[in-house]
Amino acid sequence: MKKKLFLIMLVVFLAVLSACGNSAIQSTSKKEEGGSKSGGTIKIGVLLPDSGVYASLGKHLHKGMELYFDSIDWKIGSKKIEIIKEDSEADPQVALRKARKLIDQDKVDILTGTVSTAVAYAIRDEVDKKKIPFLVSHAGGNDLTRSKRSDYIWRSSFSSWQIGNSLGEWAFHNVGKTMYIAAADYAFGREVSEAFKEAYTAAGGKIVGEVYPPLGNNDYSSYLTTIKNAKAEAVYAFFAGSDAVRFVQQYDQFGLKEDKKLIGSGWLVSEDVRKSQGNAGVGTISSIFWDYSIKTEENRQFKEAFEKKYNERPTIEALEGYDAAKIIAEALTTLDGDASDPDKVVEAISNVEFISPRGPIKFDKETHHVIQNMYIIETKLVNGQTENEVIEIIEEVRDPGK
Amino acid sequence: MNKKGFVLIAAVMLLIFSPFIFSLFYLNLVTEILILAIFALSLNILVGYTGLVSLGHAAFFGVGAYMSAILAREISPNFFLTLFASLAAAIIASAIIGIFCVKVSGFYFLMLTLAFSQMIYSFVHQSTTITGGSNGLSGIPSPLIGSLDFSNPVYFYYLILLLFILIYGGLSLIVHSPFGQVLIGIRENETRLKSMGYHTTLYKLAAFVLAGGLGGVAGSLYTSFNSFISPSDVYWTMSGSVLIMVLIGGSGTMIGPVLGAAFIVILETIVSSYTTMWMMIIGIIFILFVVFFPKGIVGLGKLLFQSFSKSNKLSAISGKKSNALYNNDVKN
Amino acid sequence: MDIIGAQLVNSISYGLLLFVITCGLSLVFGILGVLNLAHGSLYMIGAYVSYSITVHSGQNFWLALIIAPLAVAVCSLIIEMILLRPTYQLGHLSQVLLTFGLAYVIHDMTAAIWGSDVLSIPLPQSLSGTVTLFNQAFPVYRLAVIAIGLILAGLLWFIQEKTRWGAIIRAGLSDKEMICALGVNIQLVFTVVFFIGGYLAGFGGVIAAPILGLYPSMEFQTLILALVVLVIGGLGSIAGTFVASLTIGIVETFCRFLVPELSLFVVFGLMAVVLIVKPNGLLGRQVVKH
């Protein structure tokens, strides 16, 4: 008898609970109301890795964003800016869960991030379905603004294509007519080297061989020995993070620098890996969309503000975070801080253009991707330390979108 | 009605009412817990009932998941098609791998399952054309049954709930059947069973295939849920994660893996929102469970329950003295 | 033919590096029967401590080589006393799980202390040149690793085969109860072995760091590699670990040279084959089953 009573009470309790509160049935059967979202604050969801392999990139992106928002006092119009951070752990499974939390639970107005392309792909459908403006501030997978394009996804960082393609023709004319390719075997490495190959061979160059060491490979000696014996004038390499440190170091240690110039993407010699490489990176030529050494007034101010606040040099990712924050702020300013209509928000984003520390940037309205300069940089030894120097600027590089 | 049936009915009612109580975010979390619970239940057949600790279960999860993803994208997102194809693929994979694995036991079994799962992982990671490589496969269409589209999270939840109840019920029957008893016998003392005339290798293989097949089903559901799959779901850390779920929940019981899955998902989601040191917290909790509550949450629950009941102070103490992690009583 | 010779040198260097990293794990598993899944973490601590000594405090590599392994050995001593000693009666599997949980804890602790940036240690001055062999430039350090690996192997073999301690260890492998009955303090043996295992892990960390670098999750990568070596070589056998390390060094290096896409697959395939055909490994002894 007691148990039956308990069951009945349970049913009543559940019925009461379901009547009130924000239940799933209610939110999925109601059409998007929108009004419930705004208030006095603009909520920006930031999905970046705080732990795992890409943690340091995530940290730099955060720092850049916070630097910019500090400069506008965290206010747009009369509204305050609130950042809700979630750790994507660079794991698509976890990131999707966190994205759902940011969208369904925290009800963010705008989403930004991610570092890993796999994560961006994982949340793409969710973002598109729920109509959440998503400003991609790092993940560079080509498809994000090609086959997986969405009205609500806009990218302010770069595409693998832009990175690889920009060095292709230049390398043929200025480095050598034959090239060996070495790239980390994951989607990013493959996409960038593919873009390079396309541009290089179109200009007339010949690819002598290619090799794709696994991501996180620790010992390149075997590959380097093969490359040393190949008849190529130079090597195009794509590695990032700890792979870049090891590859560049070992490239030097195994004596390849003597007869084969090393060229590649800017991540081979970026601010966060150069120190660990010692002098091994000197002489490397790379292509990237921003470098510490860019000599413009905007970059000088950015560097000064960053170094004052954090006591360290900004990295590529810091710049990406900074620009992303600025884009969001400028877009929302034109709407007077009203982020309630996602279609208006993305339109405002598409119209943003300004001179960033990386040069002039604006959006391609068709591909939703940023149009920016690409810089060819060379790593030199200055006062006993390695520094990069811009040796050529390629203006207004536009991703082809297919 | 007895205590167990009562608890069961209350739990089922709570689950049925979930979409009315929980917000969308938590409902999705419950859906994910149910899917991972199926995965944990499948591993439990090996670890909890047959006594074979595997560190390669993610392989079958991955086989099922990728099969589902590729079929849904290339042919049709018909739910029955993807589900049964994934089940079939996982059964074939586990049969092949199982033939080799059941010949060894203990530490060697652990390592062999790891080796096979890493081989599958490297295949998945490198084959960019078929599996999307490190970027994974995304934009997978939502499952369809006839013309009913399950993109609505509430409908999908009920579909998963139904499957979960069926699988849980089915496994309960299997585990309490003579077949299940043989498995438990193998766990307790394989030599004795052999001397009784049982072809233990065949039984172990059957358990392996059952576990692998269900693991593939979990993988397929996971793909349908997320519309996405990536190689990180086939990596050994996924195998480690589900093993932790089974052990913390209480291996060798039916409800244990379910509780373990819920515990880990909730911990991962909520804890990592507050701190970046979530790995340390999971590590400490895991250590505490291994040392003090080797029977997992189920054991802990029983302990608390016993210490509340008036008689039985004594059995509460003897409950603590149990040692090996998966030595549970046959009745469960 | 030069290129084959060059790749051979690469193989041996990489293989012996694996040996230096893995021998501690092999020793501990052979004697204690505990698969220390925190071995990668101890290796990592060794690398990070030597980073602090060399880069942070600007001291020299050799000083790091002396201090860091000791620091790690002390850590593993503490681990043995607090975590393992009170729990031997739970059984081998439980202890393995304990070390797994410990690895998680250490992961976050090291991230908190040293951050999550990618770091590296410069080569010691005296070993930073290059040498030409087979018409190929090799960093001297790589050849030094070969030498260090051989010396270490020789030392461990000598201790195991020719000294009293070694005899105790070999006996302990076969029959623990018997040596207790003969009056040996088995608890002390366990503690000492774990201490040495930790020392070797830390030593491996210092030696490998200039080549492999320091980065988040390095301990798990190293752990998987060490497990592969352990399995292929055979549990509880230093000679087996030695042979397996060289085998993997050769297989992996030549695979990268000939069929680069398959190198990861082949290593695990080799592991599977050994487990199926010769589960005790190439040179393994039968470890006491739990």
Q: Best of C34, C35, C108 to disrupt the B interface by mutation (most B CBs within 10 Å)?
A: C108
Q: Best of C104, C220, C230, C274 to disrupt the B interface by mutation (most B CBs within 10 Å)?
A: C104
pLDDT greater than 90 at residue C279: no
Rounded Cα–Cα distance for residues A247 and B297 (Å)? 47
Taking contacts as CB-CB distances below 8 angstroms, the residues of chain B near A7 are 6, 9-10, 13
pLDDT greater than 80 at residue B332: no
Residue B56 pLDDT: 93
Residue A359 φ then ψ, to 5°: 110, -170
Residue C124 resides in a domain: yes
Residue A3 pLDDT: 64
Taking contacts as CB-CB distances below 8 angstroms, the residues of chain A near B276 are 50-51, 87
- Measured between alpha carbons, how far is residue C89 from residues B324, C221, C290 in Å? 9, 30, 12
pLDDT greater than 60 at residue B91: yes
Residue B318 pLDDT: 55
Looking at the complex, does the CB of residue C115 fall below 8 Å from at least one CB of chain A? yes
Residue A151 pLDDT: 92
Residue A83 pLDDT: 94
**CB contact at 8 A, A46 and A112:** yes
Tens-of-pLDDT digits for all 402 residues of chain A? 566 776 677 777 766 666 655 566 666 554 444 444 456 889 999 999 988 788 889 999 999 999 999 999 998 888 899 999 999 888 888 899 899 999 988 999 999 989 999 899 999 989 999 999 999 999 999 999 998 899 999 999 999 999 999 999 999 999 999 999 999 988 899 999 999 999 999 999 999 999 988 887 878 888 998 898 899 999 999 999 888 999 999 999 888 988 899 999 999 999 888 888 888 999 999 999 999 999 999 999 999 999 999 999 999 999 999 999 999 999 999 998 888 899 999 999 999 999 999 999 999 999 999 999 999 999 999 988 899 999 999 998 999 888
Q: Spell out a b/e string for C147-183, using b for 16 or more CB atoms within 10 Å of the CB, else e.
A: ebbeebbeebeebbeeeeebebbbebbeebeebeeee
C141-170 confidence digits (pLDDT tens): 989 999 999 999 999 888 877 777 777 766
Residue B84 pLDDT: 93
Residue B291 pLDDT: 86
Among the partner-chain residues B19, B136, B230, the one whose CB lies closest to the CB of A25 is: B19
Rounded Cα–Cα distance for residues C290 and C285 (Å)? 15
Q: Which pair of tokens denotes residue B114?
A: 């790891």
Chain centroid to CA B106? 20
Q: Chains with ≥3 Cβ pairs under 8 A against C?
A: A, B
Task: State whether residue B172 is helix, strand or coil.
Answer: helix
Query: If you search the block for the tokens 């393995």, which residue do you land on?
Result: C96
- Measured between alpha carbons, how far is residue A379 from residues A249, A315, A382, A385, B302 in Å? 14, 15, 9, 10, 66
Residue C10 and residue A276: Cβ atoms within 8 Å? no
Beta strands in A24-177 (DSSP E): 41-48, 75-76, 79-87, 110-113, 134-136, 153-155
**Shortest CA distance from C102: residue in chain B:** B283
Q: On the CB side of B171, how many CA atoms lie within 13 Å of its CA? A: 31
Burial class of residue C58 in the structure, from the number of CB atoms within 10 Å of its CB (0-12 exposed, 13-18 middle, 19+ buried): exposed
Q: What average pLDDT does this structure show over C192-209?
A: 92
Confidence of residue B329 (pLDDT cuts 50, 70, 90): very low
Residue C285 resides in a domain: no
At position A183, the amino acid (one-letter code) is A
At position B178, the amino acid (one-letter code) is P
At position A88, the amino acid (one-letter code) is S
Residue B189 pLDDT: 87
Taking contacts as CB-CB distances below 8 angstroms, the residues of chain B near A27 are 23-24
Residue C289 resides in a domain: no
Q: Which of C156, C195, C204 is nearest to C21 (CA)?
A: C204
Q: Chains with ≥3 Cβ pairs under 8 A against B?
A: A, C
Residue C284 resides in a domain: no
DSSP state of B55: S
Residue A31 pLDDT: 41
CATH code: domain A40-157+295-368 is: 3.40.50.2300
Residue C231 resides in a domain: yes
Three-class SS of chain C: CHHHHHHHHHHHHHHHHHHHHHHHHHHHHHHHCCCCCCHHHHHHHHHHHHHHHHHHCCCCHHHHHHHHHHHHHHHHHHHHHHHHHHHHHHCHHHHHHHHHHHHHHHHHHHHHHHCCCCECCCCCHHHCCEEEECCEEEEHHHHHHHHHHHHHHHHHHHHHHHCHHHHHHHHHHHCHHHHHHCCCCHHHHHHHHHHHHHHHHHHHHHHHHHHHCECCCHHHHHHHHHHHHHHHHCCCCHHHHHHHHHHHHHHHHHHHHHCHHHHHHHHHHHHHHHHHHCCCCCCCCCCCCC
Q: Best of A59, A87, A116, A218 to disrupt the C interface by mutation (most C CBs within 10 Å)?
A: A218
C58-110 confidence digits (pLDDT tens): 778 888 899 999 999 999 999 988 888 888 777 777 888 889 899 999 999 99
Instruction: Identify how many contiguous H helices and E strands chain B contains and give both numbers.
Output: 15, 4
Q: Which pair of tokens denotes residue A226?
A: 């093969």
Residue B322 pLDDT: 46
Residue C172 pLDDT: 64
Q: What average pLDDT does this structure show over B80-99?
A: 94
**Kind of pairing between the strands at A110-113 and A134-136:** parallel
Looking at the complex, does the CB of residue C139 fall below 8 Å from at least one CB of chain A? yes
Q: What average pLDDT does this structure show over B295-322?
A: 68
More confident residue, A29 or B109: B109
Residue C74 pLDDT: 94
Q: Which pair of tokens denotes residue A20?
A: 């009130």
Of the listed ranges A2-16, A363-377, B171-185, B272-286, the least confidently predicted one is A2-16
CATH number (domain holding residue C31): 1.10.3470
Taking contacts as CB-CB distances below 8 angstroms, the residues of chain C near B106 are 289-290
Residue C275 and residue B291: Cβ atoms within 8 Å? no
DSSP state of B307: H
Residue A242 and residue C213: Cβ atoms within 8 Å? yes
Taking contacts as CB-CB distances below 8 angstroms, the residues of chain B near A96 are 226, 228
Task: State whether residue A131 is helix, strand or coil.
Answer: coil
Contacts of residue A339, defined as CB under 8 A and 6 or more positions apart, other chains included, come to A37, A38, A42, A109, A110, A332, A345
Taking contacts as CB-CB distances below 8 angstroms, the residues of chain B near A22 are 23
Residue C212 and residue A246: Cβ atoms within 8 Å? yes
Q: Which neighbouring-strand residues pair with A393?
A: A375
**Kind of pairing between the strands at C130-133 and C136-139:** antiparallel
Among the partner-chain residues A51, A221, A276, the one whose CB lies closest to the CB of C10 is: A221
Q: Which of A32, A95, A21 is nearest to A58 (CA)?
A: A95
Residue C287 resides in a domain: no
Domain count, chain C: 1
Q: Which neighbouring-strand residues pair with A153?
A: A134
- Measured between alpha carbons, how far is residue B232 from residues A119, A164, B118 in Å? 11, 26, 11
Residue B323 pLDDT: 46
Task: State whether residue B324 is helix, strand or coil.
Answer: coil
Looking at the complex, does the CB of residue C1 fall below 8 Å from at least one CB of chain A? no
Looking at the complex, does the CB of residue A385 fall below 8 Å from at least one CB of chain C? no
pLDDT greater than 70 at residue C174: no
Second-level CATH architecture of A161-288+376-397: 3-Layer(aba) Sandwich (3.40)
**CB contact at 8 A, A244 and A268:** yes
Residue C221 structural domain: 2-277
Contacts of residue C3, defined as CB under 8 A and 6 or more positions apart, other chains included, come to A225, A226, A229, C134, C136, C257
Task: State whether residue A359 is helix, strand or coil.
Answer: strand
Rounded Cα–Cα distance for residues B227 and B77 (Å)? 11
Residue A17 and residue B21: Cβ atoms within 8 Å? yes
- Percentage of residues in chain B with pLDDT exceeding 70? 92
**CATH 3.40.50.2300 in chain A, residue ranges:** 40-157+295-368, 161-288+376-397
Looking at the complex, does the CB of residue C263 fall below 8 Å from at least one CB of chain A? yes
**Shortest CA distance from A148: residue in chain B:** B139
**Kind of pairing between the strands at A359-363 and A370-382:** antiparallel
Minimum distance, in Å, between the CA of residue A86 and any CA atom of chain B: 6
Residue B107 and residue C287: Cβ atoms within 8 Å? yes
A and B: number of Cβ contacts within 8 A? 137
Beta strands in A304-358 (DSSP E): 353-356
The enclosing H or E element of A252 equals: helix A241-253
